[in-house]
Amino acid sequence: MKQILFAVAAACVAFASPAFSEQRSPIQADVDVVKQLAPSGKVKVAINVSNIVLAQKDPAGGEPRGITVDLARELAKRLDLPLELVIFESAGRVTDALKSGAWDIAFLAIEPARSAEIDFTAPYVLIEGAYMVSKDSPLQTIGDVDRAGIRIAVGRGSAYDLYLTRTLKNASLVRYSTGDLAVQQFLPDKLEVVAGVRQPLVLFAQSNPTVRVIEGRFQVIEQAMGTPKGRSAAASYLRSFVEDVKASGFVAAALERSNQPDAVVAPASK
């Protein structure tokens, strides 16, 4: 059963349709916007393929697909510029690459630790942070997890790593280079819990009878677009872009195309 918060968010965009998206006039980008969004002449967008809600790898080795790829292409189309997808295996690696100038636009969850260096839009989609444990674990609820002696595997630098770092009082975190590795290793490494985005955890549990996902969520993850600090014109344009693609039905249609029915379009920003 969907949580009340997610149901309300979904209702906010239920009126929108993909057809309406094609009829809307794109928000015009001035010279400063283009220079800040694409200083190299290309729209360089970071794509994190560790979160299957946002991007899915192509088994044949081609470009990934998913909502973030669709949004990147739509943005480049509106700017009338070539697109370069910069692929990363984790959100932590996306943020690590900020200082090197590897990307000009990223799709990341809004987190205070990131906001010091990145200007975020309002969220375009809401997803859940969840826990997975061994099938015979005594931990039954979200509230059971934050206890002394409980060790939680997380992907380093992920939204849920940053959130749990701020909020846990008793349990401790064990960080892995990626969320996928945390999921694969938490049982062999004899950890009690792994944290992650609900959808990939559920997918893993469906084919692994030794684990189960705890009901409920410890976090609502607000996925947004971001650009490096100091690019005010670019940040303003992206905020308007995100509101437009939510209202038009583009985000909802992209989630449907990538078969992500449990992700919810974020409500309009006030």
Whole-number pLDDT of residue 149: 97
Q: Where are the domains of the chain?
A: 4-126+221-265, 128-219
The answer to whether residues 129 and 194 touch, using CB atoms and an 8 Å cutoff, is: no
What spatial distance separates the first Cα and last Cα of the chain, rounded to whole Å? 27
Query: Are 4-126+221-265 and 128-219 equal in CATH topology?
Result: yes
Compute the half-sphere exposure of residue 193: CA atoms within 13 Å on the CB side of its CA: 28
What is the DSSP code (8-state) at residue 226?
E
Q: Provide the 3-class DSSP secondary structure of residue 66.
A: coil
Whole-number pLDDT of residue 270: 76
Q: Could you tell me the pTM of the whole model? A: 0.84
What is the DSSP code (8-state) at residue 56?
B
Of residues 169 and 8, more confidently modeled: 169
Please give the CATH number for the structural domain made up of 4-126+221-265: 3.40.190.10
- E-only strand ranges, 71-171: 83-88, 105-109, 118-120, 125-134, 151-155
Q: What is the pLDDT of residues 21-63, one digit of tens each?
A: 444 555 666 888 999 999 999 999 999 999 999 999 888 778 8
Please give the CATH number for the structural domain made up of 128-219: 3.40.190.10
Is residue 2 very low, low, confident or very high in pLDDT (cuts 50, 70, 90)? very low
Helices 67-79 + 232-248 axis angle, to 10: 120
Q: What is the pLDDT of residues 105-156, one digit of tens each?
A: 999 999 999 999 999 999 999 999 999 999 999 999 999 999 999 999 999 9
Kindly give, in sequence order, each residue whose CB lies less than 8 Å from that of residue 74, ignoring residues fewer than 6 positions away.
245, 250
